[in-house]
Amino acid sequence: MKEAEEVLGRVMNLDQFVVTFELPEDFCFHGPIPFDLKISEGMGQALVVALSQEEAEDKVQMYFDEAADFWEEAWEVDLEDEDDEEDDEDDDVEDAN
């Protein structure tokens, strides 16, 4: 019962906060965006539901960190695949000789 009271207390104290940040030029979005977001001239403004301004900023940072990690991993896989294809082509040339 105490856990339910803690959850209800948290929900009752939630508020909306505005987080303004500079959007990196090379940023690519991935997945749903968990807050309202406006982008204009390289600047982003997120409207985030949280308990504090600090928590709101942490939520925005976490989203962008996770999206950046996703694309880093995706590029690593693509580059590894290209290396494998080049190795296969080299093997074909050696087999032909």
Please give the residue that has the higher pLDDT: either 44 or 78: 44
Strand stretches in the chain, DSSP E: 15-22, 36-40, 43-50
Closest by CA to 44, choosing from 63, 23, 27, 25, is 23
pTM of the predicted model as reported, rounded to 2 decimal places: 0.66
User: How do residues 17-70 score in pLDDT, each as one tens digit?
Assistant: 999 998 877 777 777 889 999 999 889 999 999 999 999 999 999 988 888 788
